[in-house]
Amino acid sequence: MNTVILNINGSVVKARQGMTVLEAAREADIYIPALCAHPDLPLPLGACRLCVVEIEGQGFPTSCLIPVTEGIAVHTNSQIVREIQAHNLKILLSPLPPPRLGHHELQKIAEYLGVKEVDFPAHLPRNLPIEKDELEDKVCLALNHNLCILCGRCVRACRDVRKIGAIDFVTKNGKLRIGYPRASSFKEAGCTFCAACVRYCPTGAFTLTKLR
């Protein structure tokens, strides 16, 4: 496979042709915050827009969707890039009930960008449902839509890692949500309660609890 030479933050980085800028940065141990993109999961959506970088002559694209090309100069931690990333984080998490930074993954990103809980506007409850389903009275899977940011990691974990496809993006009452297509419950959709959605959810929207 051909090698592409690019420059990230003043350092020469070698990447495989076909890699994204985010993948090349990660392989070079250069941190770029991201939520919808996960190393274990294919097809990042570019939805969270936290992995914005500056590419000289190309503006401020999301690095998870931009393929590496020969000779590009990338800036991941300049003041303007971090300001854009911090702004996007606040937009993404503002609708969530506090504490918005309770999940360790969100804490890491917020600390890197210098964002604190007090930086978010006053919470207006979304009053979205919490869907629950039980498996043989042993465990309960719950999805709190108030905590969901529609990053799609749970969908890709279920479909591409576990090869089940019990959950997907669905439209209910004119709004996009995570749900179970063509079914009335997680169990009916084929869910095996494996907890992959719980492990990959960055906000704690999915939970799996044992029943007494």
Q: What is the CATH number of the domain that holds 134?
A: 3.30.70.20
Does residue 24 sit in the same domain as residue 113? yes
pLDDT of residue 138: 84
Residues 13 and 96 in one domain: yes
The predicted pLDDT at position 156 comes to 96
Block residue for tokens 């993109």: 37
Looking at 119, 138, 166, the residue that finishes a domain is 119
Q: Which domain holds residue 144?
A: 130-210
pLDDT score, position 49: 96
Regions of the chain where pLDDT drops below 50: none
| Residue 114 and residue 13 in one domain | yes
93 membership: H or E segment, kind and range: helix 79-93
Give the burial string for 42-53 (b: 16+ CB within 10 Å, else e).
Answer: eebbbbbbbbbb
- Do 22 and 100 fall within a single domain? yes
Q: Which pLDDT does position 135 carry in this prediction?
A: 79
Q: 62 to each of 33, 49, 103, 130, 155, how far by Cα in Å?
A: 11, 6, 23, 31, 21
Tokens linked to 48:
């969270």
pTM of the entire structure? Answer: 0.93
Q: What is the pLDDT of residue 122?
A: 75
Domain check: are 70 and 101 in the same one? Answer: yes
Residues 167 and 112 in one domain: no
Q: Are residues 108 and 10 in the same domain?
A: yes
Asked if the structure places residue 152 within a domain, the reply is yes
Q: Is residue 124 part of a domain?
A: no
- CA contacts within 13 A on the Cβ side of 209: 10
Q: What is the predicted pLDDT for the residue at 43?
A: 75
Does residue 125 form part of some domain? no
Identify the CATH number of the domain in which residue 73 sits.
3.10.20.740
Instruction: Give the tokens for residue 67.
Output: 């393929």
Domain count, the chain: 2
